[in-house]
A and B are shown apart, each in its own frame.
Chain A
Amino acid sequence: MRRRGVPAIGWLVVAILIGLLTLPAASQQPPRRGGTVTMALYQEPELLNPYMATQTASFEVITMVVEGLLANDEKGGYVPQLATEVPSRANGGVSQDGKTITYHLRSGLRWSDGRPLTCDDVKFTWQAIVTPKSGAISTTGYDQIQAVDCPTPQTVVVRYKTFYAPFLSRFRWILPRHATGDPANMTRWDYNRRPLGSGPFRLTEWASGDHITLVRNDNYRIKGQPYLDRVIIRIVPSREVGKQLIKTGDVDIVWDLIESDVPELRGVPGIKISAPPGPGAERLVLNLADPSLDGPSPEMVKQHPHPILGDPRVREAIELGINKREITSKLLFGLATVGTNELHIGWARCVTPPSSYNPPKARRLLEEAGWVPGPDGIRVAKGARYAKDGTRLRLKLQTTTGNKLREQAEQLIIEYMRAIGLEFYIENVPSAVLFGSWASGAFRKHGHFDVLMYTTNPDADPHAQVEGYFASWNMPTADNAGRGFNYARYASDRVDADIKKAGSVPDLDLRRAAYCDAMKQIVSDRPHIYLYDRATMNGYRERLQGWVANVWENVGWNAQSWWVSR
């Protein structure tokens, strides 16, 4: 027995050694060709024309089929896709006045049907978007273009009428002239359901409500890629179903998880969760104007500030009274980071320190601002700057209904505020009401609120967001038909000047410096109080290799590099 036992243990040791030696080798094995990957989407794309689609789910599919001149990498910077390089003044791609942009297309580009992809297709893309009544959802930026010229089939010259700062973000998707149709008829194109692109996969089947099949594009611009034969998009009725399917191994990717899904999936063997911080920031939007006014202009805001929130000391007290760290750890399972400012990630990232949790200082500030404790602990005005004496320190807090996370956050905020003598009361509304249009009379647009809570985020190019929310000329009023998102009705000469500067130069470093200067001012003025930055979360089966999480693009942004082990 003994004699037999020893060699057995010896073999075991050898086996373990071999196992240990092959382990690192196994994780560095070259990508394997072939195989199918299935991804669960809990929303069905409405259509797959990138200039008519509105839902993120649609772009999850589009991104694997259609390409553009440039895309964004995981740091938010621009990288060439169909172009050979990112145009800049240094490489001659941007003219001195910044109005003429030259892109060079890679040589030998083909659509997935084998037809050549040339400058003419870029020109067609622009024409399709700006054709009146084409049905394109947004024409922003493209309507600033004078002409798209094609001196050679590989050279694209875009001439803007006026300088357009986020020019690099345009032409993210290129449409094929030969496989679409008349731009005036865009809503009726067969393309909308069967897009043809130059991306790593081509769409072969869309079974409504069930699945979308993508197969390898043999004409893809990178030789030897994609590695996978197929990607199947499985349309599932809910996120819950998607989570079940990744647990049982029926799907390899589950798209768009939320924080509360993570504890449930974390312990499951064979599943990895990616949770990089995303651009979305949950914030409180404070109304600096008298909420009884209807869409007041900047001048009116100056004359009629919000009786409570018009005083910057009150706004500071609110921020110092909120324990942001407790919200992220208690409600978000540590998956979110404490909020700082609008540009917390991306190429324009600006680092500002998070606010400290300091209730004693908050109380002192309120005291200084003329708010003294009343009989029930809630403060009342006595010599406050804008409020009549005897006014109760009471504010309405509103967010969307049916969101458990937000409702819990509201409860915590009410507690924090009561501790410093400020009363918050809740009046939540359905999201369609909160986010309604000026024409529909939405109170957010018209300025009839105290404090709102919701998430919004800048794109890879933050200009539209920063200008929309913080430039004084973007307060929605009757005169501008409700344009802009400056719901806080915030006005600062310094921020206005910074935004103008950032919007007038093509150089990204100069723009970054201008945005950051604006951020510093905004952080100290507090039209918004940033609670937490949300992570972008997706789940992957471990057999899927080569994926890279990129919060600026969709899950399949590098699907050409995906492969499956085994």
Chain B
Amino acid sequence: MTRYLARRLLEAVPLLILISVAVFFLINIIPGGPTAAYENNPHLTPQDLARIERELGLNQPIYVRYVRWLGAVAHGDWGYSLASRRPVLVEIGERLPNTIYLLGVAFAVTLALGIPIGMLSALRQYSLFDHTSTTLAFMGQSVPIFWFGLILIIVFHVSLRNPLTGLPLLPGGGMYTLGEPFSVWDRVSHLILPVSMLTLATAAQYVRYMRASMLEVVHQDYIRTARAKGAGGRRVVWRHAFKNAALPLVTVIALDLPTLFSGALFTETIFSWPGMGRLFYDSALRFDYALLMGIIMVNAALIILSNLAADVVYGCLDPRIRYV
């Protein structure tokens, strides 16, 4: 197992370097650049522009810049944002907790809803519950989530009012009410709408996965055998059926984990959430190469790691799989 892990991690290094080359060159061939915003400023002489480019190191050939970037990253230096001039890790560090907070809650709610509903739906196949949940899941997956977010705002923030105060029923954006002292309800109320928006599509997806794999499992012989041996209904469902049915879901969940880092651009934009998705979008608009590279590379590493994690968890859940 250790050897397997070490080999996989070692394999990840050339892969990451390959990704960094591709990304670095791709973002640099986009027309424009960090100084494009200055071109229309009548106060800036070409000498000013040349000086700024020199100071930012943009006058170097692209391969020189790449090698310098790689060398710095190898020493743990991710560089400075070209716009705010602050260290890339500081910029990321400020936004990351907000994104983990929002997406973590949404992820927990998604699992808490998706898995039990999917299981119940499979166990009571063709019941009213099953029909209702599969229909809803189908709708949830089909609804464009940015549209759903806007509808949530119109209904719960614009139309519906708190009968006691006359204020909007739920806040339509932000993480907390500005200028108010901390309160748990204030935090929770700001979470409700964005979490609902995030949960809808993903939970629907999990319901469908869970239901399908559970259905496959409950008709297997060993389940019948377990029942024949007199195992109780709950024991059969959890010990025998769920453990096997959850296997395909592990991969799906593991691949969703990196979104905890990368954030959710639509949700963050609609609900003014100061998270990673917007940081990435803003830095792309500003041609903030250093920050873009930082975010993309950490994201790439996380995707590789969560794939590895999925494989490892697979091994734990399914003893037939052996890693060498």
**Residues of A bordering B, CB below 8 Å:** 36, 38, 44, 46-47, 52, 54-55, 133, 135, 137-140, 187-188, 192-193, 207-211, 213, 230, 232, 234-238, 241, 244-245, 247-248, 250, 430-433, 435-438, 440, 442, 456, 458-459, 464-465, 468, 480-483, 485
Contacts and interface: CB of A to CB of B under 8 A. Distances in A.
Contact of B85 (A38, A52, A433, A456): A52
A209 B275 contact: yes
A237 B268 contact: yes
A437 B83 contact: no
A210 B98 CA distance: 10
Interface in B64-113: 80, 83-86, 91, 94-95, 98
B178 A193 contact: no
A420 to B, nearest CB: 31
A138 B48 contact: yes
Interface residues of B, number: 50
Given A210-B174, A230-B179, A47 B83 contact: yes
B43, B48, B172 — most chain A CB neighbours (10 Å): B43
A138 B44 contact: yes
A174 B86 CA distance: 22
A279 to B, nearest CB: 12
B41 interface: yes
B29 to A, nearest CB: 12
Contact of A209 (B33, B39, B279): B279
A58 to B, nearest CB: 10
A481 B274 contact: no
Contacts of B153: 244
B42 A38 contact: no
A485 B41 CA distance: 10
Contact of A139 (B48, B91, B174, B178): B48
Listed from nearest, the 6 A-B pairs whose CB atoms lie closest are A432-B32, A209-B274, A46-B83, A464-B42, A237-B269, A210-B274
A433 B31 contact: yes
Contact of B40 (A213, A456, A480): A456
A188 B98 CA distance: 25
Nearest to A468: B42
Given A192-B85, A207-B274, A430-B31, A436 B40 contact: no
Interface in B170-185: 172-175, 178-179
B172 A138 contact: no
7 contacts: A52-B85, A137-B48, A139-B48, A193-B86, A208-B94, A237-B272, A456-B42
A459 B40 CA distance: 12
Contacts of B179: 36, 213, 230, 232
Contacts of A193: 84, 86
B158 interface: yes
A209 B278 contact: yes
B38 A46 contact: no
A430 B32 contact: yes
Contacts of A430: 31-32
A157 B215 CA distance: 86
Contact of A436 (B32, B46, B85): B32
A483 B45 contact: yes
B36 interface: yes
A55 B37 contact: yes
A47 B278 contact: no
Given A456-B40, A464-B42, 15 more contacts: A46-B84, A46-B286, A47-B84, A55-B37, A209-B274, A232-B178, A232-B179, A235-B272, A241-B270, A244-B158, A248-B158, A435-B40, A440-B33, A459-B42, A485-B42
Contacts of B94: 208-209
B30, B46, B175 — most chain A CB neighbours (10 Å): B46
